[in-house]
Amino acid sequence: MKLNLYQIDAFTNHLFGGNPAAVIPLDQWISESLMQRLAMENNLSETVFFVPATKPDADYEIRWFTPLAEINLCGHATLASAYVLFHVMGYGYPAIRFQSKSGILTVTKNFDRISMDFPAWKPEPLAEWPAELATALGNITITSVHKYRDYLVEVADESMVQLCQPDFTLMKKLGQKVILTAKGNKADFVSRFFAPTVGVDEDPVTGSAHSQLIPYWAEKLGKKSLFARQLSKRGGDIWCEYLGERVTMAGQCVFFMKGEIDL
Active-site residue list: 46
Residue 173: CA atoms inside 13 Å, Cβ hemisphere, count?
11
Does an H or E element contain 240, and which?
Answer: strand 236-242
Separation of alpha carbons 45 and 56, rounded Å: 31
Inter-CA distances, 71 with 57, 110, 174, 195, 231, Å: 22, 27, 18, 11, 22
Burial class (CB in 10 A: 0-12, 13-18, 19+), 55: exposed
Q: Which residues contact 150 (CB under 8 A, 6 or more apart)?
A: 176, 177, 178, 179, 193, 209, 212
